[in-house]
Amino acid sequence: MKHLILKTFLLLATLLGVGQAAAQANLEINTPGIAAIQGSMQKRHAELAPLYTSGAVGLTRDGNVALRDPAGVPLAQRAAVNGLIAAENQDRASLYREIARANNHPEWEGDIRNTFGQRWIDRAQAGWYYQNATGAWVRK
Amino acid sequence: MGALPAVRTRRVAVAALIVLLAALAWVNTGRTQQIALTMDDVTGAGFSAQGIRMAFTGGGATTIEVNAVTIGAQSWKNIKLNCALLRLERTRIACDDGVLALVEKIPLSFSYLTDKRVLDLALKPAKEETWQINMRPGKRGNDLSVRVDGGSLQRIAAWLPPDVPKISAGVIHGVIDYSGDGRIAAKLTANGVGFADATGLHAGEKIGFTLDAQAVPAANDLRWSAALAWSAGEAFWQPIYLKAANQRLSAEGRLDAKQLHIERGSLRYPGIGDVGFSGVYDLAAKKTTEGRVSAQALNVPALYESVLKPFLEGTSLSDLRTDGRFSVELHMGEQGLQRADVRLDNVSFEDKTQHRFALFDINGTVPWRADELTQAAVTVKGGELLKMPVGAFAIPLSMNGMRFDLKQLRVPLLDGYINVNDFVARAGTASWYWQFTGALAGISMDKFTAALGLPVMYGTLDATLPMVRHIKSTLRVDGALFLKVFDGTIEAKNLVLLDVFSKAPRVQVDVAMRNLDLGLLTRTYSFGNITGRLDARIDGLELVNWQPVKFDVQLASSAGDYPRKISQAAVQNITALGGAGAAAAIQRSFLRFFEQFGYEKLGWGCKLQSGVCQMSGVDVGGGDTSQGYVIVKGGGIPAITVMGYNRQVSWQELLDRLKRVTQGNVKPIVE
């Protein structure tokens, strides 16, 4: 798995011409900032998981989550679910930024986001929805 | 209003039908058995019908076909009206069992009295659905009534512009009356209405409402009034979710070619209060050019829960307990908001679950003007900040458009106060910019530390906050932040807070501590007593999420003459922190008989990077330090020198050791 990610990242780095340096990005790096963000995301995951399972929320190809099927969420809960999605995306953006910063290459943020986008999809459970390369929703 | 052109087109449509029927009547009186007739195109305002053909096939059966009909933005092609038996009587033309083939086949019946010119048309598109149209000559032109029973709203949905949420369910009952002189009156009830847009951000379910609307044409405009009562269902309009609670909206005004005037409007929201409004909407520019909103004594808790809270999601104000009443008057002009008068009556709020802040009994007025200097007069009876009591204070806020000034704010905190001076906030292009200078003074450290759940410290907290500036998401402190504590001083310089409100706020700062009383310090942290004075320098301290990730710290005895004593417990603890050796040595040697030792100087350094602390000791001026470093250099009688031997330690491990030591478990850990 880790190997695959590294390979993907290498390929990506070559494609984007970011050079050898970017290929050495440590995605597993840990700092108090990253730990705080991961902790917050982990706590939220309990609330998001049923929404992934029901298909109401899906994983986007740019490393975010999105409301895929609004009809799957009762009106009274829709604001809360939208809030959950917004908070999750905010955390994900912070995570990508922090990992880039911790690698001493803030400019890698975009590449790290892309790599994570694929990583979340790879790790998604069967039945969850994700966006394919054309942006269409696909059930895993 | 909007219904007027539709009614006109309907008139044209009905007129066209009459023309056709009249033609048919004429053909029939000629006793022709089979005849086909074509007609010119019929056009009217917003209406057109092309390719009209009629076939009378004998035995009363008649077919009317139209190639295309356009009403407003809607078009239908190949429309067919079949009537199995068209009755042609002296003064009456009628069809009891016709079928109109539009998108679907709709059974219909009609009767037209040729002498009285009265048309009755009934369409029954579904079992429980009837649309009855009655047209008769009135005082001026024809009067028209439409009675709907169980009318499907989905049918109307096709008429709505594409950018509004799609109606998916709902039925209407009621009557719409149109007089030839232009008056319209509608009384409609809707049930089970559902609508949604593709994003799901705007949706409603099982909505029931009644609408009572009238319009009367005047010389150059149309006078109108409407009342809407929401009786059932729920709606979500991002980010607000509302449930029907018999909310009532009523308004009246006039409509001319250029503007919609709302002269008197009111929204009655049970539980929250009444809101009055008026305004002018420019139809061409599609914007409000004038508006007034007025609400008296709104119930703050209900307003917060239903309306405000969804907008505050994700901020520290998203989970409050609130109380009080709130009044507001707003005046909008072409340039946007021109005046806002806010009145607060015993408004209170507190951080419900985390208890970080609270303000009680806020009273006063805020008279804001877009281009005038005004003064707010607001008083606060009390509150809490991080569980510390806050006393009464006043907020003398000056306002001038989007600039807000606060010359001096003095907030009593515990037995001292927080002073905020020269506060200025102004709206930038993308975010707010604000700055202030401030001070904390006369706050008892024992009360302060106890309130924060820290080890109790003694003395008084006095701190000066030099210029604090907030630009975008960065908070910067110009000059030095000065704190008096442990009988010494702490000076923080180059303080910068990045991503202040994010999950991982970053702090960068340089700190210098001078002349701290080690007696007070060590007693506070149950470290074992040390008498003396300490200086500390922390360079390049960087915190992420309030945890240090980088710094270079150097602790050393302050210069000067003062008693220097160190207890055996303290020696053991230092040893436990620094690593090996001395603790065991003390235990073995005669030194264990002494409670206290003298020292000349003490010092310790730690350079933290990547989770590892690179340690060093006090500068003893030459000597062989290859074996270790000196933490405490002995002096006097009895003297003791404490050495550290480990140069590197994991920061987390060091913290754990410190925790064990200060929690009273003074058993040294010897590596």
Phi, psi of B416 (to 5 degrees): -120, -150
The H or E element spanning position B275 is strand B273-282
Partner-chain contact B544 A83, CB within 8 Å: no
Distance CA A113, CA A94 (A): 10
> A41, A47, A68, A75: which to substitute to probe chain B, counting the most B Cβ within 10 Å?
A75
Helices (H), B316-404: none
pLDDT of residue B65: 87
Residue B549 corresponds to which tokens in the numbers above?
């990730």
Let me know: does B631 contact B615? Beta carbons within 8 Å: no
Partner-chain contact B200 A31, CB within 8 Å: no
Which residue pairs, CB below 8 angstroms and at least 24 apart, start in B235-238?
B235/A75, B235/B203, B235/B204, B235/B205, B235/B207, B236/A75, B236/A76, B236/A78, B236/A79, B236/B201, B236/B202, B236/B203, B236/B204, B237/B201, B237/B202, B238/A78, B238/A79, B238/A82, B238/B201, B238/B202
- A53 has a chain B CB within 8 A of its CB: no
- Domain range for A61 is 2-139
pLDDT of residue B185: 96
pLDDT of residue B376: 96
Going by the DSSP 8-state scheme, the letter that residue A72 receives in this structure is G
Partner-chain contact B201 A36, CB within 8 Å: no
Whether omega before B367 lies within 30 degrees of 0, making that bond cis, reads no
CA-CA distances (angstroms) from residue B226 to B173, B192, B263?
17, 21, 12
- B542 has a chain A CB within 8 A of its CB: no
pLDDT of residue B665: 42
Phi, psi of B519 (to 5 degrees): -60, -50
pLDDT of residue B206: 96
Q: How far does the CA of residue A19 sit from the closest CA of chain B (Å)?
A: 25
Phi, psi of B422 (to 5 degrees): 50, 45
Average pLDDT per 10 consecutive residues for chain B, totaling 671 residues: 41 50 48 68 71 80 85 78 88 91 87 91 92 89 91 82 86 93 93 91 94 93 96 92 94 94 95 95 91 95 90 82 96 93 97 90 96 96 92 96 94 93 89 88 86 76 85 83 84 86 81 92 80 94 86 94 88 70 57 80 90 84 66 82 82 82 49 31
For residue B538, the one-letter residue type is I
Q: Which residues of A touch B313 (CB under 8 A)?
A: 79, 83, 86
Residue window 210-249, chain B: list those with CB within 8 Å of chain A: 234-236, 238-241, 243
Going by the DSSP 8-state scheme, the letter that residue B305 receives in this structure is I
CA-CA distances (angstroms) from residue A131 to A54, A64, A138, B168?
16, 10, 6, 27
Let me know: does B345 contact B328? Beta carbons within 8 Å: no
* Nearest one of B503, B581, B68 to A42, comparing CA atoms: B503
Q: Which residues of B touch A70 (CB under 8 A)?
A: 196, 199-201, 203
Partner-chain contact A40 B503, CB within 8 Å: yes
Nearest CA in chain A to B506: A33
pLDDT of residue A9: 44
Nearest CA in chain A to B238: A79
Count of structural domains within chain A: 1
Q: Which residues of B touch A71 (CB under 8 A)?
A: 196, 200
* Nearest one of B105, B204, B221, B133 to B164, comparing CA atoms: B204
Using DSSP bridges, classify how beta strands B629-634 and B259-269 pair: parallel, antiparallel or unpaired: unpaired
- A132 has a chain B CB within 8 A of its CB: no
Nearest CA in chain A to B204: A75
Confidence of residue A125 (pLDDT cuts 50, 70, 90): very high
Strand partners, B360: B382
Nearest CA in chain B to A87: B314
Distance CA B443, CA B446 (A): 9
- A31 has a chain B CB within 8 A of its CB: yes
pLDDT of residue B35: 75
- Mean pLDDT, chain A, rounded, equals 83
Partner-chain contact B314 A73, CB within 8 Å: no
3 state DSSP class of B417:
strand
pLDDT of residue A7: 47
Residue window 175-204, chain B: list those with CB within 8 Å of chain A: 196, 199-201, 203-204
CB neighbours of B656 closer than 8 A, spacing ≥ 6? Answer: none
CA-CA distances (angstroms) from residue B381 to B199, B365, B395, B448?
46, 15, 11, 21
Confidence of residue A18 (pLDDT cuts 50, 70, 90): very low
Nearest CA in chain A to B233: A75
- B313 has a chain A CB within 8 A of its CB: yes
Cα atoms in the Cβ-side hemisphere of radius 13 Å centred on B352: 10
pLDDT of residue B321: 96
Q: How far does the CA of residue A1 sit from the closest CA of chain B (Å)?
A: 26
Helices (H), B363-476: 445-452
Residue B594 corresponds to which tokens in the numbers above?
């002494």
Partner-chain contact B239 A76, CB within 8 Å: no
- Selecting from B200, B243, B499 the residue whose C-beta is nearest the C-beta of A70 gives B200
- Selecting from A33, A76, A82 the residue whose C-beta is nearest the C-beta of B545 gives A33
Which residue pairs, CB below 8 angstroms and at least 24 apart, start in A39-48?
A40/A91, A40/B503, A41/A88, A41/A91, A41/A92, A41/A95, A44/A84, A44/A87, A44/A88, A44/A91, A47/A84, A48/A84, A48/A88
Q: Which residues of B touch A34 (CB under 8 A)?
A: 504
Q: How many CB atoms lie within 10 A of CB B256?
A: 12
- B482 has a chain A CB within 8 A of its CB: no
Nearest CA in chain A to B197: A70
